[in-house]
């Protein structure tokens, strides 16, 4: 295999890390200047910036008739964002989850995931479906911006670094716009190089387009979210770390697939594998956020490990299914009748304990 392919892969990873650092710094500064909560910035500017690779992949693949890559990339990225990105970010530092996320953003993520499955049941994501999703994305973004302006934040929450007294407002704006645009540009370029090289490697190994979309491309296009959320967690911007993931997931469905569906000449064909397995998994992962986020209003390290375990288990299933391995039935049985029920019981128990503790505190 061409050594240049591996070199491009490594360079792409480096660009992703550098771009994420610039984007988080610029976005958190903008939040301070506008006195908008960092969570709103994470759900909008950062989320949309890190989802630019998914948008690029969705548009290119829909035009070229590779619908499996478009839909597989969006669904696979959403699964990856929750299980891998939040899992690794919470290992860096436990992530604080706000009431807004639990009451509003997680239910919206669940709702749009269900809507996507409903639109896909006829085996096709039509232009009308895409238009509805796209309009939903616009409404969601406008409501977030309005909500952020209504909430506001106290000026003393921010360091003097962000005040207008030290430098002109124009210079401050220009600097942070350069950070955001430059960081987004590096993320897009890095993810593009990474995806192109990864797809070349996968195709050389002879795997299907859907599997490429759900694994290689999904992980590649989710690396901006991963790099951004991990760096945001290291910088103490934990609202951005969580908001980035949820905003990206909602954006991937409403805007990425919305635009891809509108631009695709004949709509996006949705395979049975997506309808019967991958989309339901994405919905289940979205539902799993509720008890995990609610327990302690934070994502603890053990919960991050749980996310990572299920991400490895999900990819293990995809690989075994792709090669028709004889151990697939045993693997499926263990997951369905042991791992999943045990996890559900654990999460229900933790949620009940948190509810009782909360009642004792208020009572």
CATH number at residue 309: 1.20.1420.30
* Tokens describing residue 132: 């509805």
Nearest to 227 by CA among 46, 16, 39: 16
Neighbours of 55 (CB within 10 A): 20
Q: Are residues 205 and 323 in contact, defined by beta-carbon separation less than 8 angstroms?
A: no
Establish if 157 belongs to a structural domain. yes
pLDDT, one tens digit per residue, over 241-252 is 888 889 889 999
Q: Which of 101-110, 157-166, 305-314 shows the lowest mean pLDDT across its residues?
A: 157-166
Q: Are residues 130 and 71 in contact, defined by beta-carbon separation less than 8 angstroms?
A: no
- Compute CA distances 186 → 19, 52, 190, 191, 196, whole Å: 5, 11, 6, 8, 15
Establish if 126 belongs to a structural domain. yes
pLDDT, one tens digit per residue, over 166-179 is 455 788 888 888 99
For residue 202, the number of C-alpha atoms closer than 13 Å in the C-beta half-sphere is: 24
Total length of the chain = 363
* Tokens describing residue 219: 């992980």
Nearest to 243 by CA among 55, 77, 39, 27: 39
Establish if 161 belongs to a structural domain. yes
- CA atoms of 342 and 114, how far apart (whole Å): 25
pLDDT, one tens digit per residue, over 92-137 is 888 888 888 888 889 999 999 999 999 999 988 999 999 999 999 9
Q: How many domains does the chain have?
A: 1
Residue 191 has a pLDDT of 72
Q: CB within 8 A of 10, min separation 6: which ones?
A: none
Burial of 216 (C-beta count, 10 Å sphere; 0-12/13-18/19+) = buried
pLDDT band at 165 (very low <50, low <70, confident <90, very high): very low
pLDDT band at 345 (very low <50, low <70, confident <90, very high): confident
Establish if 335 belongs to a structural domain. no
- CA atoms of 263 and 257, how far apart (whole Å): 10
Phi, psi of 324 (to 5 degrees): 50, 45
Residue 152 has a pLDDT of 55
- CA atoms of 181 and 237, how far apart (whole Å): 19
Q: Are residues 61 and 73 in contact, defined by beta-carbon separation less than 8 angstroms?
A: yes
Establish if 149 belongs to a structural domain. yes
Specify which residues 125 forms β-bridges with: 268
For 197, the domain range is: 3-325
Q: What is the DSSP string of 14-35?
A: HHHHHHHHHHHHHHHHHHHHHT
Nearest to 244 by CA among 13, 52, 35: 52
pLDDT band at 151 (very low <50, low <70, confident <90, very high): low
Establish if 73 belongs to a structural domain. yes
- CA atoms of 343 and 291, how far apart (whole Å): 11
- CA atoms of 241 and 238, how far apart (whole Å): 5
Mean pLDDT of 71-78: 89
Q: Which long-range contacts (CB under 8 A, 24 or more apart) does 289-295 make?
A: 289/82, 289/106, 289/109, 290/102, 290/106, 290/110, 291/347, 291/348, 291/350, 291/351, 292/347, 293/97, 293/101, 293/102, 293/106, 294/102, 294/351, 294/354, 295/347, 295/350, 295/351, 295/353, 295/354
- CA atoms of 113 and 283, how far apart (whole Å): 6
pLDDT, one tens digit per residue, over 210-236 is 787 788 778 877 888 888 888 888 877
């Amino acid at each position: 295999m061409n050594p240049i392919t591996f070199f491009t892969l490594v360079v792409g990873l480096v660009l992703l890390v550098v771009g994420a650092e610039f984007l988080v710094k610029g976005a958190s500064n903008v939040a301070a200047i506008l006195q908008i909560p960092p969570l709103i910035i994470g759900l909008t500017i950062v989320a949309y910036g890190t989802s630019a690779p998914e948008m690029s992949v969705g548009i290119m693949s829909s035009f070229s008739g590779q619908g499996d890559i478009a839909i597989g990339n969006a669904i696979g990225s959403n699964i990856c964002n929750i299980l891998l990105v939040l899992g690794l970010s919470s290992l860096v530092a436990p992530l604080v989850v706000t009431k807004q996320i639990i009451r509003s953003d997680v239910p919206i993520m669940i709702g749009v995931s269900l809507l996507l499955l409903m639109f896909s049941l006829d085996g096709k994501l039509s232009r009308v479906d895409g238009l509805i999703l796209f309009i939903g994305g616009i409404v969601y973004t406008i409501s977030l911006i309005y909500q952020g302006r209504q909430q506001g934040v106290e000026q003393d929450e921010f360091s003097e670094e962000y005040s207008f007294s030290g430098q002109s407002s124009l210079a401050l704006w220009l600097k942070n716009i350069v950070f955001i645009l430059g960081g987004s540009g590096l993320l897009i370029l890095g993810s593009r190089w990474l995806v192109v090289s990864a797809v070349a490697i996968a195709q050389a190994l002879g795997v299907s387009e859907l599997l490429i979309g759900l694994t290689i491309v999904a992980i590649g296009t989710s690396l901006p979210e991963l790099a951004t959320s991990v760096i945001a967690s290291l910088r103490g911007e934990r609202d951005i770390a969580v908001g980035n993931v949820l905003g990206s997931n909602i954006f991937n469905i409403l805007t990425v697939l919305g635009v891809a569906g509108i631009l695709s000449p004949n709509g996006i064909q949705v395979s049975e594998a997506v309808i019967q397995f991958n989309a339901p998994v994405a919905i289940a992962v979205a539902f799993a956020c509720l008890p995990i986020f609610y327990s302690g209003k934070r994502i603890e390290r053990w919960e991050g490990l749980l996310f990572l375990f299920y991400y490895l288990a999900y990819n293990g299933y995809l690989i075994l299914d792709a090669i028709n391995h004889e151990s697939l039935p045993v693997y499926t049985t263990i997951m369905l009748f042991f791992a999943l029920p045990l996890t559900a019981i654990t999460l229900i128990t933790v949620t009940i304990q948190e509810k009782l503790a909360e009642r004792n505190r208020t009572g």
